[in-house]
Amino acid sequence: MKKVLLLIIAVCFTVFSFAQDAAEKINQANEALKGKDYAKALELYEDAMSNLGDVQVPDAINYNIGLAAYNSDNFEKAILYFDKAIIAEANISKAHDYKARSYNKLKDYVNTVASYEAAIASSEGDTKGLVYNAAIAAYRGKLDDKAVALFAQSVESGYKGETAQYYKSAVLRRQNKTDEYKAALVKGAELFPGDKKICPALAKIYVSEGNALYKAGAAILSAANEKVNAGTLKTDEAAYAAEVDKAKVEFKAAIEVLEKAKKADASNANAQTLIDACAAVL
């Protein structure tokens, strides 16, 4: 359910009929806005504002008009009216917030983030939700460095921390920052054990690492056995035993990593399959 914060606008008007008409339309618009008939409210506001005559209307009314425009999906108009409300110092933080929402609807993520940041800077209340919304917009707009910083703030503040940490890791992965991506998932698994997105993602990394170690061990063994088949090496020679020991080092390391994968996500079948494969040659 949308929460609408209205401004009570006092309208001073002359005795002329057109002024009375404009004032009445503004009053009707206010009532339509309260009743959530946003399209009607916007029409009445704009009609009244275009025929004010001598009616004196506070500039703060632009906040209400912005609300009517936003909630009737007239996002470009909403931005214009919220800008006027900001100039009039009417509900400044909320006006920036709704500007951000409007830009977000228009998929203009650069201005979405900028507006959320302005809302945060001008707010005297809790800004946790604004920070998270700004982070999501930065993620969508591929403003990656900003997204990482904003998601980190959300994690620190405890606002949707699990989701924020996951998206932070996703941004780092998109930036090809492999080590930082893994570190973010490790930290996420520590902070939010059992999270259904973070832990499986971390397990996949461990499985990939374990698989690489397994392949390294298998390659060492394969090379040694090829020499045996070629008659250049015998299985009872120290050189062959040394190669086997090298392979075992890789297999043991693989098992250690794969156990981490199982701990992160017990449902990862590949982890156990590789553990069994390593154990078979140890």
What is the domain-level CATH number for residue 50?
A: 1.25.40.10
- The structural domain count of the chain equals 3
- Report the distance separating Cα 110 and Cα 187, nearest Å: 29
Q: Which domain holds residue 212?
A: 199-280
Residues 80 and 164 in one domain: no
Residues 242 and 219 in one domain: yes
Give per-residue pLDDT as tens, 219-247.
999 999 999 999 999 999 999 999 999 99
Structural contact between residues 224 and 281, judged by C-beta atoms closer than 8 angstroms: no
Give per-residue pLDDT as tens, 176-210.
999 999 999 999 999 999 999 999 999 999 999 99
- Quick one: what percent of the chain has pLDDT higher than 90? 87
Q: Which ranges in the chain belong to alpha helices (H)? A: 17-34, 38-49, 61-71, 75-87, 92-105, 109-122, 128-140, 144-157, 161-174, 178-191, 198-230, 238-264, 269-280
Tokens encoding 195: 């999270």
Tokens encoding 216: 């390294």
- Report the distance separating Cα 145 and Cα 211, nearest Å: 31
- Report the distance separating Cα 165 and Cα 152, nearest Å: 7
Q: Which of 162, 195, 228 is the last residue of a domain?
A: 195
Give the lowest-confidence range in 42-56, 170-184, 198-212, 263-277.
42-56
Residues 105 and 72 in one domain: no
Residues 20 and 107 in one domain: no
Structural contact between residues 210 and 261, judged by C-beta atoms closer than 8 angstroms: yes
Please state the rounded mean pLDDT for residues 73-79. 98
- pLDDT at position 22, please? 81
Residues 83 and 160 in one domain: no
Residues 212 and 125 in one domain: no
Q: Which of 44, 69, 90 is the last residue of a domain?
A: 90
Cut 0.95: pTM above it: no
Q: Place 6 in a pLDDT band, splitting at 50, 70 and 90.
A: low
Residue/partner pairs of 174-182 with CB below 8 Å, 24 or more apart: 174/142, 174/144, 175/144
Residues 190 and 133 in one domain: yes
Residue 17 reports pLDDT greater than 90 = no
- pLDDT at position 20, please? 63
Q: Which of 167, 195, 223 is the last residue of a domain?
A: 195
Residues 221 and 266 in one domain: yes
Question: Looking at residue 143, what DSSP letter applies?
Answer: -
- Report the distance separating Cα 92 and Cα 190, nearest Å: 39
Residues 203 and 246 in one domain: yes
- Report the distance separating Cα 259 and Cα 274, nearest Å: 10
Residues 6+ apart with CB under 8 A from 63: 7, 81, 82, 85, 88, 90, 91, 94, 95
- Report the distance separating Cα 121 and Cα 103, nearest Å: 18
Residue 47 reports pLDDT greater than 60 = yes
Residues 6+ apart with CB under 8 A from 35: none
73: left (phi over 0), alpha (psi -120 to 50) or beta: left
Give per-residue pLDDT as tens, 150-165.
999 999 999 999 999 9
Phi, psi (5° rounding) for residue 252? -65, -40
Q: Which residues pair with 12 in a beta bridge?
A: 56
Residue 147 reports pLDDT greater than 80 = yes
Residues 223 and 146 in one domain: no
Mean pLDDT for the chain?
A: 93
Residues 86 and 114 in one domain: no
Residues 98 and 15 in one domain: no
